[in-house]
Amino acid sequence: MTIMEFFGCSFLAFGPPVAMFAITIAKDPIRIIIMIASAFFWLVSLLLSSILWFIVIPLRNVLIFGLVFSVFFQELFRFFFYVLLRKAEFGLRRVTEEDTHINNNRQVLAYVSGLGFGLMSGAFSLVDVLADAAGPGTMDLNGGSEYFLVISAATTLCFILLHTFWGVIYFSALDRRVIWQVVYVIASHLLVSCITLLNQYQQYVLTLIGIYLVLIATGVITFKVAGGTFNSLKRGFMWRPAASINVSAE
């Protein structure tokens, strides 16, 4: 039973992101490099958050303190990565092989870096839970929720997708100097992180509904920012010859 639970939770959390990676990223080495680099930036932001949490001894047990500063560090490092990408843009164009059909425009790179952020944060939040889930026992036989593992997996999936969306919105907002979108990314990141604090009181349903609502809203904004329209969405679901599968916008 616990093995089934382990695989179920793993696939729930990492199935969609891995599919996204396989379909949109894996075929292009440049995108893989960028994804790994962004994942590394997320790790550095986590390191700084941890150092801050470690230094401020009196607030170690106050979850919200570490959480808020961690959000700020993550967004700061998203900005650094944006700056890095913009500086590297010219060089990236030169190393890209001319004859590939892959179009690494700015939005694609934003999406790739967002997914890199998301995958690394997802891995960090779920892997220790999954490691314990594989054993002979399952969660919370006494009192707590036996759905803890499923809820953790769903939360992780939500954060991976959110990071992807935030990446797209943030980068394009910085390109176009749309301040409210930058503020929206930081605010919604803060909001969903704080919603998860409800988990301490076993309000798992509230948490999940809250963060998935934010996910839907963010998804809609991302779609708009990426230039999607109702018609383009419709077109996207229609059959087209394989040769024309491009991530194309603008």
Partner 1 sequence: MQRLNSLLYFLAFVLFLFAGAEATRTKDRIYAQIEGTAACFRRLNGTHQFGCSSRRTGNVGVLQLLKEPADVTWLTKEAPDDTYMAIVHSNMFNEQTLRALKDSPKVGGVVLLRSDTEENNLASYSPEDSCPNRYSGLSSFEKQLCSDSKPWNPKGSSLLQVDWGFPIFYVHSDTSIKNITDCYVKHNSEREGMTTRSLCAMEMQAFMIAAKDSETCFRRSNMINNLNPMRFCDPMGDRNVWATLFARDASEQEKSVIVLAARLDTTSMFEGEAPGAVSTVAGLVTALATYSLLSEMKTELSPARSGGNVMLMLFNGEAYDYIGSSRLVYDMSNGMFPPKWSNVPSLNISKIRMMIELNQLSQINQSTGAVAPMYLHKTLDNPDIAKFIQSMKSQQADLNLNLLDSTATSIPPVSLQSFVKADANFPGVAITDYDQSFTNKFYHSVLDDVKLLKFKYSNGTAPPSDSIQAYLANLSTALGRSIYELIAQKPYTGTTKVEPTQMNELLHCYLNSLNCSLFHSATNDDFTLPEYPPPLYVGVSNSLNAVTGLSGRLIALLTGAETNSSKEECKLNESDVVRCP
Q: Could you tell me the sign of the dihedral formed by the alpha carbons of 182, 183, 186, 188, in that order?
A: negative
Where does this chain touch partner 1 (CB under 8 A) — which range of 12-20, 79-87, 134-142, 208-216? 134-142
Give phi and psi for 140, each to the nearest 5: 50, 60
- C-alpha to C-alpha distance for 90 and 86, rounded to whole angstroms: 8
Q: Rule CB under 8 A: is residue 140 a binding residue for partner 1?
A: yes
Q: Rule CB under 8 A: is residue 123 a binding residue for partner 1?
A: no
Helix (H, G, I), strand (E, B) or coil at 244: helix
- C-alpha to C-alpha distance for 98 and 17, rounded to whole angstroms: 28
- C-alpha to C-alpha distance for 80 and 85, rounded to whole angstroms: 9
Nearer to partner 1 (CB atom), residue 142 or residue 231: 142
Q: Rule CB under 8 A: is residue 132 a binding residue for partner 1?
A: yes
Binding partner 1 (rule: CB under 8 A), the pick from 112, 133, 185, 225 is 133
Report, in Å, the least distance between residue 73 CB and partner 1: 23
Binding partner 1 (rule: CB under 8 A), the pick from 142, 180, 236, 243 is 142
Binding partner 1 (rule: CB under 8 A), the pick from 80, 144, 175, 179 is 144
Q: Rule CB under 8 A: is residue 3 a binding residue for partner 1?
A: no
Q: Rule CB under 8 A: is residue 4 a binding residue for partner 1?
A: no
Binding partner 1 (rule: CB under 8 A), the pick from 39, 110, 119, 139 is 139
Residue 38 is encoded by which pair of tokens?
A: 């962004």
- C-alpha to C-alpha distance for 206 and 217, rounded to whole angstroms: 17
Binding partner 1 (rule: CB under 8 A), the pick from 58, 91, 136, 236 is 136
Place of tokens 């999406």: 111
The torsion angle over the Cα atoms of residues 184, 187, 189 and 194, rounded to 10 degrees, is -150
Q: Rule CB under 8 A: is residue 138 a binding residue for partner 1?
A: yes
Determine the residue type at 133: A
Where does this chain touch partner 1 (CB under 8 A) — which range of 42-50, 89-97, 139-147, 166-174? 139-147
Q: Rule CB under 8 A: is residue 143 a binding residue for partner 1?
A: yes
Quote the longest CA-to-CA distance of the chain: 61
Under a CB-based contact definition with an 8 Å cutoff, are residues 111 and 150 in contact? no
Report, in Å, the least distance between residue 3 CB and partner 1: 13
Q: Which residues bind partner 1 (CB under 8 A)?
A: 128-129, 132-133, 135-144, 146, 148
